[in-house]
């Protein structure tokens, strides 16, 4: 029986543990990243089948650019493969894909492939897969603040008119609802500069499972846990 998501619309996942998964097995980190990429496909399929409308995956942060050049190149190579090979499955499953993050930091060919994939899946409406790539939430918030300041300076808005709704409309995620649930794998319990504005009232679930080992059963169990919670949004 397929687990039902109930009122759960949007799941955001911090995919952590690829390197540790490989190290435990005496393998190169690149092998862990490849296995992690396979998990992305499995969880995307499972989420869609369970009725999740929005799935946001933290694929590569702005801080990840500081990793060893060889590891970054491996990740970019895996991304290139993903962008070229997954269109057919996305179309068959009615998945729209969007990307959020600092595109100016990415190689030009990857940016071109991202834009093409967004255009070709724009009409799909079963699920939206949002990939946070070269993404950092503090940078996102600073950019939105700069846009607000520029609009005010130009006289296009009155500073007194600025509210949370207006500010949220200037973020990368302006077209999708805030996450209901944030999952982080690998046992770490921090948000790592991820969707800081958007997760204000999200529920959190931290699991010790490393991302390459995260599977449909893990997702189902977490959704069941979420459905048993009472969300109060600051109310008594």
Annotated catalytic, 16?
yes
Burial label for 32, CB within 10 Å (0-12, 13-18, 19+), is: buried
Alpha-carbon 19 to chain mean position: 19
Alpha helices in 16-58 (DSSP H): 18-24, 29-50
Task: Residue 199: count other Cβ atoms within 10 Å of its Cβ.
Answer: 18
CA-to-CA dists, residue 105 to 63, 69, 134, angstroms: 12, 14, 7
Annotated catalytic, 64?
yes
Catalytic-role residue among 64, 93, 124, 193: 64
Catalytic-role residue among 7, 16, 156, 227: 16
User: Beta strand pairing status for 127-135 and 95-100?
Assistant: parallel
What phi, psi does 227 have (nearest 5°)?
Answer: -65, -20
Q: What are the residue numbers of the active site?
A: 16, 64
């Amino acid at each position: 029986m397929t687990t039902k998501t109930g009122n759960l619309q949007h799941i955001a996942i911090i995919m952590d543990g690829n390197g540790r998964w490989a190290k435990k097995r005496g393998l190169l980190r690149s092998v862990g990243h490849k296995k992690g990429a396979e998990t992305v496909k499995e969880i995307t399929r499972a989420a869609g089948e369970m009725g999740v409308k929005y799935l946001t995956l933290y694929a590569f942060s702005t801080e990840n650019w500081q990793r060893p050049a060889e590891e970054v190149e491996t990740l970019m190579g895996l991304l290139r493969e993903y962008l070229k090979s997954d269109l057919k499955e996305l179309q068959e499953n009615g998945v729209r894909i969007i990307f959020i993050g600092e595109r100016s930091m990415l190689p030009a060919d990857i940016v071109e492939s991202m834009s093409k994939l967004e255009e070709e899946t724009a009409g799909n409406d079963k699920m939206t897969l949002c990939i946070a790539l070269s993404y950092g939430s503090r940078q996102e918030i600073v950019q939105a603040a700069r846009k607000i300041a520029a609009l005010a300076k130009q006289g296009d808005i009155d500073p007194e008119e600025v509210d949370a709704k207006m500010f949220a409309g200037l973020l990368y995620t302006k077209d999708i609802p805030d996450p209901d649930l944030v999952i982080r794998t690998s046992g770490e319990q921090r948000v790592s500069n991820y969707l800081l504005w958007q997760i204000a009232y999200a529920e959190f679930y931290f699991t010790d499972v490393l991302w390459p080992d995260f599977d449909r059963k893990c997702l189902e169990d977490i959704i069941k846990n979420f459905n048993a919670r009472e969300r109060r949004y600051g109310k008594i």
